[in-house]
Amino acid sequence: MRIVELLEKSKALLEGHFILSSGLHSPNYLQCALMLQYPWMAEEAGALLAKELKDFKADLVASPALGGIVIGQEVGRALKLRAIFGERPELKMVFRRGFEVKEGERVIVVEDVVTTGKSTKEIIEIVKEAKGIPVAVGCLVFRGKENPFDLPLKYLWKVEFPIYNPEVCPLCQKGIPPVKPGSRK
């Protein structure tokens, strides 16, 4: 699978004890930024994901900051669509910097990794608030068991790394200190 080759080549597949952005713990972490730092890999990954999303006939790609920005841009490039991102300057995700979703625009939401889908759901909500029409979600890697969205979900790799609630995390019980490598506080 090409996406796995790209992630391995860029050393984006990490092992240790990690706190995911969802708050759950895992012995595995995907730091897609390590792959996306190479523009030629980002472009290829974006083109691969765009092939999965092209039939949704979208007008716009929207992504959550920070992890979704680069891959959203690359999917937008491949589909020849505008690519915008939402960010969380306070507690609520918003579009800033003059970004807007026009009423009736069909929007694909793109993220690097989806586990619980929290950030992606926030983007879906602000697209709806702007009277846009979310039509699909795309991600490089889906770490979940079932699609957490009421939209079609397209991904390049589905993987189920172990995840634990902090209260029952065997890595915590072994005294291995966790690392929080994600972008959400």
- Other C-beta atoms lying within 10 Å of the C-beta of residue 122: 17
What mean pLDDT, rounded, does the chain reach?
A: 94
Query: What contacts 79, CB < 8 A, 6 or more positions away?
Result: 50, 53, 54, 58, 61, 108
* Nearest partner of 108 among 86, 88, 81, 77, judged by Cα: 81
- How far apart CA 103 and CA 35 sit, in angstroms, is 34
- Domain locations in the chain as residue ranges: 2-160
CATH of domain 2-160: 3.40.50.2020
Q: What is the maximal distance between C-alpha atoms in the chain?
A: 52
Residues of the chain under the 50 pLDDT cut: none
- pLDDT value at residue 113: 92
DSSP lists the bridge partners of residue 28 as 15
The bridge status of strand 82-87 relative to strand 94-95 is antiparallel
Element (H, E) at 134: strand 133-142
Its pTM stands at 0.88
- pLDDT value at residue 182: 64
